[in-house]
Chain A
Amino acid sequence: MVEVQSEIQFQSPKERGPVAMQLKDVAVSFHGRTAVRDCTFDVTKNKVTSLIGPSGSGKTTLLRALNRLHDLTPGAKVSGTIMLEGTDIYRGDLTVTELRTRVGMVFQRPNPFPTMSIYDNVVSGLRFNGIKKKSLLDESAETSLRSAALWDSVSSRLKVAASNLSGGEQQRLCIARALALDPEVLLMDEPTSALDPIATLHIEELMKTLTKRVTVVIVTHNMQQAARISDDCAFLLMGDDRAGELIEFDTTEKIFNNPVDSRTLDYTLGRFG
């Protein structure tokens, strides 16, 4: 472990603050075909980092490498190094289940467990990990639902099936479910793309407050959203061989106002994509 750490020296500008996750030359391939490559950047703690780029640029593929969700896909291979608080998540002594409790995820479409109640959904992660103490589950359910700005509207009907909630509420329930494990990092894969503008606004407002507790990495198609909510921004683009690659990583302000690469400017101005 120690050797691995000393080998890799990531550069992190001091003004960005402490680092939650570090990516070095990360590439993901399926059956030998590269889907995304050359991803090297730092995810700053308690900030929102957005991954932007057109369809097929590998944003979601990269995001799913961060909690090892590719592990179950036959033929998937992740190369390079991804560090969580100094531990290599693929080669370190972190088990995959432990990693996933520390790096939570919210998906593109709200996916609450349909057979479970609102309460059971929120505490499901805790139960999966062997926590049975009622008082702890109750406390966690309330805290998580409050953090997800859902407590006031559901506190009186916690035993109701989660599928009775609206799409926006379901997505906030999924956020609460991920928060219940008190993760350090929250991955969000286009969390508002299936929601209406009002629900989207709620989730965006929520994200700003969430950074007090967690580091957020969000994939988004919506450039205004990236500009509104993220502190740092990674721009990916599909290369000539149809593999996505990191074009530029910087503060969101820099990416949108004064990017180094002309392709970044073209994309953020809506000239392609």
Chain B
Amino acid sequence: MSDLIELEEPGDSGHAMRDEIRRTSDRFRGRRVAISRAMVALSCAALAIAAVPLILLMYQLFKQGVGQIDWKFFTTVPTTPTLIAPNATGGISNAIVGTIALTLYASIMAIPLGVLVGVYLAETQSKLATTLRVISQTMAGAPSILMGLFAFSLIVHDLDVGFSAIAGAFALAVLMMPVIIISTEIAVRNVPNTLREAGLALGAKSHKVSLKVVLPSALTGIVTGVILAVSRAIGETAPVLLVIAGGFTNTWKPLSPVSAMPLAIYENAKSEWPSQRAQVWGIALVLVLFVFILSLSARIWASRKQQVRN
């Protein structure tokens, strides 16, 4: 009992301090509320300013684009309008097939490699890892036409493959890779260390821990990064501009020239025929819907995955 410290009764001084704290904070409360309201108003104004161009863009896209789209738009290849039939633009099936093919081949090249490099960067500390990190960060900021030039000189010219889907896919893969590497590294780094330790403490080799424990735990983050990279690749014009040569047939062959939606927009926008220029909005709308559906399904997948876990 003697060990217990006697608690002092709070004297007048204790209460005086408490009163002063209350008085001062009351005085400041009015000012705080005013500042808070001003900040909310400013934020709303900023939001409105930022949203206006976006809303205008979407409005324009739908207004001009919806009228261009019908069944034939998806199923036929483009035709050149003539003086007799100035509105005979045909569809864009070649560009849709081309975009899907390019994205598919690029994904096959970039996703496995990018994810593995990302895991490597997150799980090891070495000179090689540091170098790779610097390279991918630099590449992520490089202008995308550079990838096109690179693919042109390497695939089309040096390897003599010619203008082809595979050259375009290569350019897009080089573009996607840094995005995938960086986001994978972040996702893997965010996996709590306690899980790695749990794996190691069970006698697992560190590469097994990376593959069986860390990678599955980081999967939602990795997939988000991959979708981001794929969405960006779908909409890119510059890298494919120099290397795919814009074919007019529906083809999945990696070695034939193909078209792509961004390229079709670029070509049509230059056309002397008003009907082809108008078609640009239809292609743009389809492209935006593509990306939208892709990112939406990724979000739904990720949130489902999260729910199962919680």
Tell me the minimal C-beta distance from B257 to chain A in angstroms. 43
Residue in B3, B194, B202, B213 whose CB lies within 8 Å of A100: B202
Chain B residues with CB under 8 Å of A67's CB are 201
Residue in B197, B205, B206 whose CB lies within 8 Å of A69: B197
Residue in A97, A104, A174, A177 whose CB lies within 8 Å of B205: A97
Name the CB-closest residue of B to A115.
B216
Chain B residues with CB under 8 Å of A112's CB are 198
Residue in A105, A113, A161 whose CB lies within 8 Å of B217: A113
Q: Give CA–CA (A112, B202) in the complex, Å.
A: 12
Q: Is B201's CB under 8 angstroms from A105's CB? A: yes
Of A114, A174, A177, most buried by chain B (CB within 10 Å of CB) is A114
Whether a CB of chain B sits under 8 angstroms from the CB of A124 is yes
Tell me the minimal C-beta distance from A173 to chain B in angstroms. 11
Q: Is A174's CB under 8 angstroms from B203's CB? A: no
Tell me the minimal C-beta distance from B214 to chain A in angstroms. 10
Q: Give CA–CA (A70, B208) in the complex, Å.
A: 18
Interfacial residues of chain B within 151-178, with CB under 8 A of chain A in the complex: none
Residue in B3, B212, B217 whose CB lies within 8 Å of A114: B217
Q: Give CA–CA (A125, B200) in the complex, Å.
A: 9
Residue in A113, A116, A125, A163 whose CB lies within 8 Å of B203: A125
Chain A, residues 147-167, CB within 8 Å of chain B (1/0): the string is 000000000000001010000
Q: Is B213's CB under 8 angstroms from A113's CB? A: yes
Chain A residues with CB under 8 Å of B202's CB are 100-101, 104, 124-125, 128-129, 177-178, 181
Interfacial residues of chain B within 1-25, with CB under 8 A of chain A in the complex: 3
Q: Give CA–CA (A264, B195) in the complex, Å.
A: 35
Q: Is A111's CB under 8 angstroms from B205's CB? A: no
Of B194, B202, B213, most buried by chain A (CB within 10 Å of CB) is B202
Q: Give CA–CA (A23, B192) in the complex, Å.
A: 31
Q: Give CA–CA (A129, B219) in the complex, Å.
A: 23
Chain B residues with CB under 8 Å of A129's CB are 202-204
Interface SS of chain B: helix, strand, loop or mixed? helix
Chain A interface size, as a band, is 20 to 34
Residue in B198, B204, B206, B219 whose CB lies within 8 Å of A72: B206
Tell me the minimal C-beta distance from B208 to chain A in angstroms. 5
Q: Give CA–CA (A161, B208) in the complex, Å.
A: 21
Q: Is B309's CB under 8 angstroms from A104's CB? A: no
Q: Is A178's CB under 8 angstroms from B201's CB? A: yes
Tell me the minimal C-beta distance from B290 to chain A in angstroms. 30
Chain A residues with CB under 8 Å of B138's CB are none
Q: Give CA–CA (A178, B198) in the complex, Å.
A: 9
Given A111-B194, A113-B195, A115-B219, answer yes or no on A161-B308 (Cβ-Cβ < 8 Å): yes
Tell me the minimal C-beta distance from B305 to chain A in angstroms. 9
Given A114-B217, A115-B217, A128-B208, answer yes or no on A100-B195 (Cβ-Cβ < 8 Å): no
Chain A, residues 63-87, CB within 8 Å of chain B (1/0): the string is 0000101001010000000000000
Of A97, A112, A161, A163, most buried by chain B (CB within 10 Å of CB) is A97
Q: Give CA–CA (A67, B201) in the complex, Å.
A: 7
Chain B residues with CB under 8 Å of A98's CB are 203
Tell me the minimal C-beta distance from A63 to chain B in angstroms. 11
Q: Give CA–CA (A125, B208) in the complex, Å.
A: 11
Q: List 7 A-B contacts (CB under 8 A).
A: A113-B198, A113-B213, A114-B195, A124-B202, A125-B204, A128-B205, A181-B202
- Which 6 A-B pairs give the minimum distances between C-beta atoms? A128-B204, A125-B202, A101-B203, A115-B216, A105-B201, A100-B203
